[in-house]
Amino acid sequence: MIAGGGEVKTGGRDMDTSFPLTLAQQIAAAQDWWREAGVDHDFADATEVWLREPEEEAPAAPARPTIAMPAPEPEAKRPAIGGDPASWPQTLEAFGEWWLAEPSLDIGGARPRIAPRGAAEASLMVLVPEPEPDDAETLLSGARGRLLASFLRAAGVAPEQVYFASTLARHTPAADWASLLADGLGAVALHHVALVRPRRVITFGRDILPLIGHDPTQNPASLRKINHQGSTFPLLAERSLDFLLARPNARAGFWQRWLDWTDGSD
């Protein structure tokens, strides 16, 4: 049965639906409505942790103190090999004594210091990097020296016409030639040549060439003379005696270069 406005007829009783609801009743009614709709939890896109305690921020590590390092001391400059050039000997005889006694000429080693041998104004000066391992008193007295002696006999050059010298005073395995050059060994070698005043010079071994003014980036064959203090000495730059000793073909090439250099005469 439908009654007039604001009334519902039920079982002969009238239900008045116009009474106001309190706030609590409105909230309860809304919850009942959602519950009957099957929704009994609140959902959100972002997760929320309810039980975890908030983490305390770790204290910042204390800054390490900066230790000021002292500036490195400049490396002491090594004395030049031979010392002051103004004090170098001016005669070949004095040079031979100085060669065995001057401390800066000795870079150390187990082998003895060996003196050069020969006379001034020799027809030929032979310059090798260092004495042989077996040299005890005489320069080039081992296998390399015997090879050289055989060559000189074949070339018709008497031993007394030859001045034998080395750029180091003693046999020195694995010598640091770049450092020796920087320390002034080349100037000593050139002074030695100037005192001998040879007619010609043969060098054996490429380690010698920078000491006498050759640019190592160029072909050794391009170095044909030594210029020093206004004097010029014809030069034949050869491979080491070890190289020639081990290779017969290399010895044949050396012989031909010698003939071309001397035009068939000594």
pLDDT at 263: 83
Binning pLDDT at 50, 70 and 90, where does residue 28 land?
A: confident
pLDDT in tens, 100-159: 999 999 887 888 999 999 999 999 999 999 999 999 999 999 999 999 999 999 999 999
| List of residues 6+ apart from 171 with CB closer than 8 A | 109, 111, 130, 131, 132, 133, 135
Is residue 71's pLDDT more than 70?
no
pLDDT in tens, 209-266: 999 988 767 776 677 899 888 899 999 999 999 999 999 999 999 999 999 999 855 5
pLDDT in tens, 76-96: 667 899 999 999 999 999 999
Q: Which has the higher per-residue pLDDT, 53 or 238?
A: 238
Is residue 24's pLDDT more than 90?
no
pLDDT at 60: 67
pLDDT at 41: 61
The CB density around residue 149, as the number of other CB atoms within 10 Å, is 14
**Nearest residue to 201 (alpha-carbon basis) of 150, 251, 262, 135:** 262
Could you give the count of Cα atoms lying within 13 Å of 256 in the half-sphere of its Cβ? 6
Q: Is 6:18 a contact under the CB 8 Å cutoff? A: yes
**Nearest residue to 98 (alpha-carbon basis) of 125, 72, 116:** 116
Q: 3-state secondary structure string, the chain?
A: CECCCCEEEECCEEEECCCCCCHHHHHHHHHHHHHHCCCCCCCCCCCCCCCCCCCCCCCCCCCCCCCCCCCCCCCCCCCCCCCCHHHCCCCHHHHHHHHHHCHHHCCCCCCCCCCCECCCCCCEEEEECCCCCCCCCCCCCCHHHHHHHHHHHHHCCCHHHEEEEECCCCCCCCCCHHHHHHCCHHHHHHHHHHHHCCCEEEEECCCCHHHHCCCCCCCHHHCCEEEECCEEEEEEEECCHHHHHHCHHHHHHHHHHHHHHHCCCC
- What residues does each domain of the chain span? 92-262
Q: Is 121:91 a contact under the CB 8 Å cutoff? A: no
The owner of tokens 């391009």 is 222
CATH of region 92-262: 3.40.470.10
Binning pLDDT at 50, 70 and 90, where does residue 8 land?
A: very low
pLDDT at 229: 86
Whether the model pTM is above 0.85: no
How far is it, in rounded angstroms, from Cα 178 to Cα 190? 16
Tell me the longest C-alpha to C-alpha distance in the chain. Answer: 160
Is residue 4's pLDDT more than 90?
no
Name the CA dihedral angle for 126, 259, 238, 133, rounded to a multiple of 10 degrees: -50
Span 16-43, average pLDDT: 65
The owner of tokens 């997760």 is 47
